[in-house]
């Protein structure tokens, strides 16, 4: 049985420039996927190719096994049974909420159309606002109207292009979670494009992380955070530091953290220079610890402080503490290290773009 959506090694060119190179994606019914990455990585080009707004220069795109795009062939967007929510919502200012939602219900009888609009209003928790105008709504309400309009024709696939980017940070994450719940209740298959990992984590079952037009890692949010494939993924996903470590003459991993690290070292050679991924939860506040690190920076996050700490060799690492642990910069924070799940990388530094 074919997958709901399948991209097979697609390429997208703009003139001679390859914006997307050999990207493959597979989604099953009801799955929510995210195309994540920095600006210019090709994620929006992939979404536009799925929608039919851009042709593919190689590879194939299929929906329920039916061919949508291939080299030299592009099924028109209006024939793809794909809904889309745009970055700026793209609501019609001269139409009220009900008429915006019903815009895509062409060829539907008046009674059926009215029932579907009411269903969509209830689904997105906007009942009673059918006669309101877009300018009378908050940003979050406008986003819900745009989502209802995209879902009203019952598309086989929903595409969301940076749908929360015009909203403030707190509302973005909240709405991402709400939209996820709505899509799961309705069993809608969806692809989200964003550069914001917090949105991706709040909404997606699976994430495809892109860089310079290529797929870097495809995995669950949990695995992207805890098991990054390389230094780029490690640096892009989550708050972290990559510190220099080395292999001693006995094959043990040594660092400025002190003592050999509890990480597999059999594959490393004595004298080899490596990099260790440190997450904020790998270094924990411990008032009884004899290990104390200099505080070089701090950021208040409500329930927590994010501290920047200096190792004895000057390298910096992050540490999260409860917010009642309020110490001054240039004082010392007592800590203990929990590196049982530490990730070690070899080779040259490969920082995020």
Q: Structure tokens of 217?
A: 């890692």
Q: What is the pLDDT of residue 263?
A: 57
Q: Structure tokens of 39?
A: 């600006």
Spatial neighbors of 265 by CB under 8 A, at least 6 apart, are 247, 251, 252, 253
Class of residue 220 by CB neighbours under 10 A (exposed 0-12, middle 13-18, buried 19+)? middle
Statement: the pTM of the whole predicted model exceeds 0.75:
yes
Q: What is the pLDDT of residue 259?
A: 67
The listed CATH number (3.40.50.300, 3.40.50.150, 3.60.15.10, 3.40.50.10300) that belongs to domain 5-231: 3.40.50.300
Q: How many CB atoms lie within 10 A of CB 242?
A: 20
Q: Cα dihedral sign for 153, 154, 155, 157? A: positive
Q: Bridge-partner residues for 300, per DSSP? A: 305
Q: Bridge-partner residues for 219, per DSSP? A: 207
CA distance 32 to 160: 11
Q: What is the pLDDT of residue 233?
A: 95
C-alpha 78: how far from its chain's center? 27
Structural domain boundaries of the chain? 5-231, 240-346
Give pairs for 74-78: CB < 8 Å, separation 24+. 76/52, 77/51, 77/52, 77/53
Q: What is the pLDDT of residue 264?
A: 54
CB 76 within 8 A of CB 55: no
**What Å distances lie between residue 199 and 193, 325, 338, CA to CA?**
10, 29, 28
Spatial neighbors of 271 by CB under 8 A, at least 6 apart, are 246, 247, 249
Q: What is the pLDDT of residue 271?
A: 85
Class of residue 221 by CB neighbours under 10 A (exposed 0-12, middle 13-18, buried 19+)? buried
Q: What is the pLDDT of residue 303?
A: 94
CA distance 186 to 173: 20
Identify the CA nearest to 86 among candidates 138, 30, 48: 48
User: How confident is the model over 314-325, as pLDDT tens digits?
Assistant: 999 999 999 999
Class of domain 240-346: mainly beta
CA distance 65 to 33: 18
The stretches in the chain having pLDDT less than 50 are: 347-353
CA distance 162 to 30: 20
Answer whether 5-231 and 240-346 agree in fold.
Answer: no
Q: Structure tokens of 245?
A: 């470590």
Spatial neighbors of 56 by CB under 8 A, at least 6 apart, are 10, 11, 12, 49, 69, 70, 71, 74
Residue-wise DSSP of 182-194: HHHHHT--EEEEE
């Amino acid at each position: 049985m074919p997958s709901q959506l399948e991209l097979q090694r697609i390429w997208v060119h703009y003139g001679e420039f390859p914006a997307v190179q050999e990207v493959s994606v597979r989604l099953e019914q009801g799955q929510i996927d995210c195309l994540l990455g920095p600006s210019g990585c090709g994620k929006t080009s992939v979404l536009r190719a799925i929608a039919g707004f851009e042709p593919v220069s190689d590879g194939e795109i299929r929906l329920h096994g039916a061919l949508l795009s291939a080299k030299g062939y592009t099924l028109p967007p209006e024939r793809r049974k794909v809904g889309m929510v745009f970055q700026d919502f793209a609501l019609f200012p001269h139409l009220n909420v009900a008429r915006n939602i019903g815009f895509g219900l062409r060829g539907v009888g008046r009674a059926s159309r009215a029932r579907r609009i009411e269903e969509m209003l209830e689904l997105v928790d906007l009942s009673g606002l059918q006669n309101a105008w877009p300018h009378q709504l908050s940003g979050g309400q406008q986003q819900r109207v745009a989502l209802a309009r995209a879902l009203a024709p019952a598309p086989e696939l929903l595409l969301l292009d940076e749908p929360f980017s015009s909203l403030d940070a707190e509302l973005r994450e909240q709405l991402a979670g709400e939209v996820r719940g709505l899509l799961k209740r309705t069993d809608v298959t969806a692809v989200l494009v964003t550069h914001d990992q917090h949105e991706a984590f709040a909404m997606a079952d699976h994430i495809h992380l892109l860089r310079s037009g290529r797929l870097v890692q495809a995995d669950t949010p949990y695995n992207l955070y805890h098991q990054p494939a390389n230094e780029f993924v490690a640096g892009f996903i989550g708050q972290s530091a990559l510190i220099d470590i080395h292999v001693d003459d006995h094959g043990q991993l040594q660092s400025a953290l002190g003592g050999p690290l509890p990480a597999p070292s059999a594959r490393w050679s004595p004298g080899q220079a490596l990099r260790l991924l440190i997450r904020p939860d790998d270094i924990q506040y411990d008032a009884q610890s004899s290990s104390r690190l200099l505080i070089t920076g701090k950021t208040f996050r409500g329930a927590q402080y994010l501290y920047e700490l200096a190792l004895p060799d000057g390298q910096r690492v992050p540490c999260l503490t409860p917010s009642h642990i309020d110490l001054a910069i240039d004082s010392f924070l007592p800590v203990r290290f929990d590196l049982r799940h530490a990730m070690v990388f070899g080779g040259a530094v490969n920082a995020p773009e």
